[in-house]
Amino acid sequence: MARFEPLPTVRFAEGELRIIDQTLLPGRYEILSLTTVDAVCDAIRLLRVRGAPALGIAGAYGLLVAISEGGGGNLRDRVDDAARRIAATRPTAVNLGWALGRMLIASRTGDVSDLGAVLEREAHAILAEDLAMSEAMTSHGATLIADGDAVLTHCNTGGLCSGGGGTALGAVFAAAADGRSVRVFADETRPLLQGARLTAWECAQRDVPVTVLVEGAAASLLSSGNVASVFVGADRIAANGDVANKVGTLGLAILARRAGVPFYVVAPSSTIDSAIPDGAHIPIEHRGDDEVIRFGGIATAPSGVDAYNPAFDVTPADLVDAIVTERGVHRFPYQFTGKR
């Protein structure tokens, strides 16, 4: 039994992939039904569903959509083709490729007539494992949070980034569920404002006090002595513990170290890509200029001006005081080897 009720971030029923449309929050809470692989790819690309663990689950269920969608040709080919298309939507999130790979391996077992049932079982297992991993990793993470702590966080790492239980922000909710008084400082997280929109929304839903700040204010906040720890998630972790996460994470880690504030990463072990020796080998997705130089349809910069818009950055392992997975609290130096 989870310590707190997971959100229905990504679910599958009646041949449909149902997601909370995260682009509409906090103004509107709406469940979006995706019935074609195109719609699944678009939803991922447009960040209607985002967060490494949630992407893995959405990708897995996306293959069930490929089956229920119907269409010509060989069923296995259709599933393989859907996996290729979905995998190409977001290059940095390792969970997406990991979940799709796991689904394809499952698809090779048994007869093609069982394919739908086999894949459905596998996708449900991925969701169930994600919820169990969230429960475990947020419990481990909560041990790093004391009564009265203020936690600074970046982007959204609550239930919305996963099957519903969350990673880093989930650890704060687990501490709150354990009865500790906690508060959250949420970086607004430009350009897409996942902190202001999603993290603040989740905190408000769970009655955890939350204060939003622009990324530029994090340095003065950290140096004020009012922050006990920084908690962030991860999109991919290299074997040496280098962490790729939402752009802005590296800056926070450097500022936290200078301020003497511990910096923690909470992520499922499926985020660890032990085939990648260090962060220099992690591909970084660069996104379009408009995310930076337009806001709600309004140009914030003169036309013709371009933008530098990497979606992620890489934090070197030595700036990360602990990496928390469902297996426990790992301390620097890290050595993640072997299969996940």
The residue (of 52 and 126) whose beta carbon lies closer to its own copies is 52
DSSP letter at 276 equals S
Amino acid at 111: D
**Residue from 255, 267, 276, 317 binding its own copies (CB under 8 A):** 255
Take residue 193 and report the two structure tokens written for it.
Answer: 């404002």
Take residue 212 and report the two structure tokens written for it.
Answer: 């939003």
The answer to whether 219 contacts its own copies (rule: CB under 8 A) is: yes
Instruction: Give the residue among 313, 222, 228 at the shortest CA–CA distance from 264.
Output: 228
- The reply to whether 235 belongs to the active site is yes
Expressed in angstroms, the distance from the first to the final Cα of the chain is: 25
**Residue from 50, 248, 266, 270 binding its own copies (CB under 8 A):** 248
Smallest distance, Å, CB 10 to its own copies? 22
The residue (of 229 and 249) whose beta carbon lies closer to its own copies is 249
Helix (H, G, I), strand (E, B) or coil at 149: coil
Binders of its own copies among 27-46, rule CB under 8 A?
A: 27
**Residue from 148, 216, 277, 283 binding its own copies (CB under 8 A):** 216
Residue span binding its own copies (CB under 8 A) among the ranges 73-81, 96-104, 191-199, 263-271: 191-199
Q: How many positions of this chain bind its own copies (CB under 8 A)? A: 57
Residue span binding its own copies (CB under 8 A) among the ranges 14-22, 88-96, 99-107, 299-307: 299-307
The answer to whether 179 contacts its own copies (rule: CB under 8 A) is: no
Query: How many other C-beta atoms can be found within 10 angstroms of the C-beta atom of residue 204?
Result: 12
The residue (of 28 and 339) whose beta carbon lies closer to its own copies is 28
The answer to whether 260 contacts its own copies (rule: CB under 8 A) is: no
Exposed/middle/buried for residue 150 (C-beta within 10 Å: 0-12, 13-18, 19+): middle
The answer to whether 313 contacts its own copies (rule: CB under 8 A) is: yes
Containing 339, the helix (H) or strand (E) segment is none
The residue (of 275 and 299) whose beta carbon lies closer to its own copies is 299
Containing 124, the helix (H) or strand (E) segment is helix 115-142
DSSP per-residue string spanning 126-137: HHHHHHHHHHHH
Q: Which of 130, 235, 242, 273 is catalytic?
A: 235
The answer to whether 105 contacts its own copies (rule: CB under 8 A) is: no
Which residues lie closer than 8 Å to 191 by C-beta, 6 or more apart? 291, 292, 309
How far apart are the C-alpha atoms of 235 and 162, rounded to whole Å? Answer: 12
Binding site for its own copies (CB under 8 A): 26-27, 154, 185, 187-191, 193, 196-197, 200-201, 203-204, 210-221, 223, 246-251, 254-255, 258, 284, 292-293, 295-296, 298-302, 304-310, 313-314
Catalytic positions are 235
